[in-house]
Structure 1
Amino acid sequence: MPTLRSATLSPAPAATPSPTAATTPRSAKRRLTPRRAADSADSAQFTAPHTSPLAGAGPMGTPKMLSASPKSSRKRLYGDLVAAEKPRWNPRDPAQMQAVKEALHVATVPSCGVVCRDDEQRRVLEFCKACVEQERAGSLYVCGCPGTGKTLSINKVKERVSRWADEMGLDTPDELSINCTNLGSTSDIFSKILAKFQVRKKASGKLSPLQQLQSMFSHKESAPRRMLLVVVDEMDYLITRDRAVLHDLFMLTTHQFSRCILIGIANAIDLADRFLPKLESLNCKPLVITFRAYSKDQISNIINHRLKALDYDVFEPLAIEFCARKVAAASGDMRKALGVCRSAVEVFESRLQDSSKQGFGVVTFDHMDTALSKVFKPVVVNSILCLPQHQQMVLCALANTFQHCKKKATTLGELNKSYIEICRSSQVPAVGMLEFSNMCMILSDQGYLKLGQSKEDKLRRVTLQIDISDITFAFKDSRFFQKCLEQPKF
């Protein structure tokens, strides 16, 4: 292959296209490699820096065949990997806004299925398949923090078990879902199970529903033919109210002719320490599957899957990532993440109504930050916002007093001076000293400050009992109290 140096030293031919270049198709020229170019008689024309085989090739003799527009080069480089952007949504359209809120609602079951719980669903499905195929009873305990997809995953598994049984030609198990919080008494759970088996003839004598079930599962003649998949949600209610009912419930699966497939769902993740030893001694230890809290990547993935059904972009990616990181660090509760996203949409909607801008736009990082502040602010912040205005101004005076000094206490007189100065600058009439003392006593009873008396000078001392950061955070969205907090210390 001729080098750049040899091509430069060689005499340049006339700038007339050769017959080969004139007859070669345009696509073939693009596929021409340097080796093939060197083998041709016109190879020097492509290596010489100041000559061009085509007229009007552009500056510095760049061949026209090598130029391409940015759009075509991008399309050639990435092809189908470049996804087309979704159209912009119009939040002023009530139908579009309602569709967004419904997609982010906790009660909405996503059409894409349960995301990020494939391993847990697989284990539950394998357990149910083994019980149905072998016609034997079994118990399973599903635990995890709130908002980790336990109930939704079990409901999906129930649908898959029914489809699998139909495909395999097996008897489809009956299904029974019980929420323990809806029970009048804990023992009513056995009545619901007994009614599902559709017992035509009750047992002789005055037997309780539990005793009837135990008798039914102890004899082959009375045992039902079809399996019953019992899903008991909110099992924490049984754990706290009546542990004997919990033990009897799991023991139903230990009888020889039992037809119960029991799946318990609860938020208590310390079952191994409190209940498994007892259940193991009763020979009814269940299989335990724990649903861990969602990570930030899982939360982002779930939110994006819910919004995928929409034909437009609603959030900027940074806003979703910020929400996912905050919720994952706090609790990993997916329900709280969906609530924050809905709140961010409402913040965006309210600001849009107050402005004269066009209806197009997306939920930004600032909207999400405002929504997260409302959800994750401390309890003391809510209580501060519920105080009367003058009591809030007293807290501002305390914050001004202790913000720039190392003292942790002040006198009631100094606090009153700071309070009066705040009222004067804010053009709010100040209350008298007696009413001011009563306000401080009320704040002391509520735990915001502490009143005491010095033994030395017998002056009443005031100590702040809450963090100054809580006061500043509570008033960060109020211009009035921001001015109060900017007052100098007296």
Structure 2
Amino acid sequence: TPRTPSTPRTPRTPRTPVDVYRQAQHLFHRSATPGQLVGRQAERQALMAFLRRPCFDDDAGIHIVPDAAEQHVRGALYISGVPGTGKTGLVRECVAADGAGTATDGRAWKVAFVNCMDVGDPKAIFAHAAAQWTGQPLSAVPVADGLPLCESLLLPGHHASAAHEKDRAQAAPTPGPARPSTAYLMVLDECDQLLTRSQDVLYKLFGWPHVPGARLVLIGIANALDMSERMLPRLKAKNAMPRHLHFRPYGSREIADIIRGRLMTLSPSARSARSTTPRGPSAVPLMQDAAIEFCARKMAGLGDLRRALDVARYALAALEKEHVARADATSGDGGGKGSLVTVGHVLRVTSMTTANQSALQRLKALTLVQKSVLALLASAAPWPPARLTVRALADHYAARYQRGDVLVPLTHTEMDDVLSGLEATGLIMLQS
């Protein structure tokens, strides 16, 4: 039966407009700051305990921590972990949370956060830190002045002249409450970029927190598990090794939670597009639960959260492209079926990213420790045996490099991390 003529309708506003897709894609950019990091509770607690542990004294300098079993002071921490494990982000979050720039013992924090890849000459690190602590532009602090300026701030008792120390000792005490002294925090991201032949710069930086009267708390961040032990052996001889906090690669459950958490920060209008699960509608917009789980499992082998976020962003971009094409074909109504990222979207993105990297490129991208483990696996018979465990491989590796100068034995946990990274490249396969 012919339909009764009616007034043409104005095209409906798309239920998931293009700006919503772009808003979602922005959440997965590497430069995005989505708020509190999801997961990493053990690492968060360790970092906050390190930042809040009292270690300064106006007269005696740094206190040894109360626990006699610990041989380290609060003043130096080395953080290791493969790229994309949240090291830098969590440090920034914890520093910001620690009293918004005020140390918990009542002293004001002055923070210098330096990415060492931007420094160039390792000796310029002192000028970068001094500029941030004093509030000057970097151009106003010559490289040659950086070291003495840092010493005057961090080691006032050692840097001051003898006459000044004598005058201060003879001066009458000032009435009234004592003014709290300043504590300086230096965070060195990618600190392995400061490695030199003599390692003078790193020895000085990691040695400063152990100087009596020093006002420095140092956090170094890098990828290598054993940089401080392997490249800075004199620290151990001086009982000045930094505390070590290792970030394990993200697991699939953590990656999935992070993706869901970012999508849930979308505006209320964006949350109208949700997937449906056997238990009812999902709380997460724009991506099917199955697609999130598939993306997390696919990227968990890499342990690099940034790669998982890239895949989610590319999948959302593909969905936006489909939405625009569908909207053009339907006079502006692009909503409805197909408005969610599916497993198919994620599969296409991951297939494209892995196919673009050859085996040679993957080998060149390996760390020295990963290459040494791979070489051990590929060595002649009777090694490796037909069935090999992580424990057995770690023991064999330790025997091979027991007295090595460059390569040192790995713990079973460290070997597990190295093997997970190799599996992520597709060069080996692990079985439970």
Give the TM-score range, shorter chain. Answer: 0.5 to 0.7
Q: How much identity, in percent, do the aligned residues show?
A: 29
Partner of 1:123: 46
State yes or no: 1:262 paired with 2:240. Answer: no
Structure 2 CA distance for aligned equivalents of residues 143 and 262 of structure 1: 14
Structure 1 pair 273–280 and aligned structure 2 pair: CA distance change class (3 A): closer
Contact 1:178/1:232, CA 8 A, preserved across alignment: yes
Q: 2:118 aligns with which of 133, 158, 182?
A: 182
Structure 1 residue ranges (4+ consecutive) displaced by more than 6 angstroms after TM superposition:
none
Structure 1 pair 284–214 and aligned structure 2 pair: CA distance change class (3 A): farther
Structure 1 CA distance for aligned equivalents of residues 253 and 87 of structure 2: 18
Structure 2 CA distance for aligned equivalents of residues 302 and 242 of structure 1: 41
Partner of 1:143: 80
Partner of 1:376: 354
Partner of 1:320: 292
Q: Please say which structure displays the higher CA radius of gyration.
A: 1
Structure 1 CA distance for aligned equivalents of residues 215 and 14 of structure 2: 53
Contact 2:85/2:247, CA 8 A, preserved across alignment: yes
Q: Which amino acid aligns with 2:112?
A: L
Equivalent residues in 2 for 1:18-29, closer than 5 Å:
none
Superimposed CA distance per residue, residues 284-339 of structure 1 (whole angstroms, 9 cap, x where no aligned partner): 2100101110000000011111111223111001111111011112x111111010
Contact 1:214/1:252, CA 8 A, preserved across alignment: no
Structure 2 CA distance for aligned equivalents of residues 117 and 336 of structure 1: 18
Structure 1 CA distance for aligned equivalents of residues 197 and 320 of structure 2: 45
Contact 1:138/1:261, CA 8 A, preserved across alignment: yes
Structure 1 pair 354–242 and aligned structure 2 pair: CA distance change class (3 A): farther
Structure 2 CA distance for aligned equivalents of residues 316 and 199 of structure 1: 48
Structure 2 CA distance for aligned equivalents of residues 327 and 301 of structure 1: 13
Q: Which amino acid aligns with 1:176?
A: A
Q: Which amino acid aligns with 2:50?
A: F
Structure 2 CA distance for aligned equivalents of residues 382 and 257 of structure 1: 51
CA RMSD of aligned residues (A): 3.3
TM-score normalised to structure 1 length: 0.53
State yes or no: 1:155 paired with 2:92. Answer: yes
* Cα displacement (A) at 1:221: 8.3
Match of 1:110, SS state, is: coil
Partner of 1:54: none
Structure 1 pair 275–157 and aligned structure 2 pair: CA distance change class (3 A): same
Contact 1:218/1:256, CA 8 A, preserved across alignment: no
Point out the structure with the larger helix share: 1
Superimposed CA distance per residue, residues 53-102 of structure 1 (whole angstroms, 9 cap, x where no aligned partner): xxxxxxxxxxxxxxxxxxxxxxxxxxxxxxxxxxx9834x1321221112
State yes or no: 1:337 paired with 2:300. Answer: no
In the alignment of these two chains, the number of paired residues is 287
* Cα displacement (A) at 1:380: 3.9
Equivalent residues in 2 for 1:333-412, closer than 5 Å:
333-355=304-326, 356=329, 358-360=334-336, 361-380=339-358
Partner of 2:207: 251
Match of 1:332, SS state, is: coil
Gaps of 5+ in 1: 1-87, 201-206, 384-490
Partner of 1:389: none
Partner of 1:303: 259
Q: Which amino acid aligns with 1:316?
A: Q
Structure 1 pair 164–226 and aligned structure 2 pair: CA distance change class (3 A): closer
Superimposed CA distance per residue, residues 408-450 of structure 1 (whole angstroms, 9 cap, x where no aligned partner): xxxxxxxxxxxxxxxxxxxxxxxxxxxxxxxxxxxxxxxxxxx
Pick 1 or 2: higher relative contact order, CA cutoff 8 A, min separation 6: 2
* Cα displacement (A) at 1:282: 3.5
* Cα displacement (A) at 1:275: 2.8
Structure 1 CA distance for aligned equivalents of residues 311 and 360 of structure 2: 17
Equivalent residues in 2 for 1:165-314, closer than 5 Å:
165=102, 170-196=106-132, 198=134, 209-210=146-147, 213-214=150-151, 217=155, 219=157, 222=160, 225-239=181-195, 243-271=199-227, 273-275=229-231, 277-310=233-266, 311=268, 312=271, 313-314=285-286
Structure 2 CA distance for aligned equivalents of residues 336 and 347 of structure 1: 17
Contact 2:55/2:75, CA 8 A, preserved across alignment: no
Gaps of 5+ in 2: 1-12, 63-73, 137-143, 166-179, 272-284, 362-432
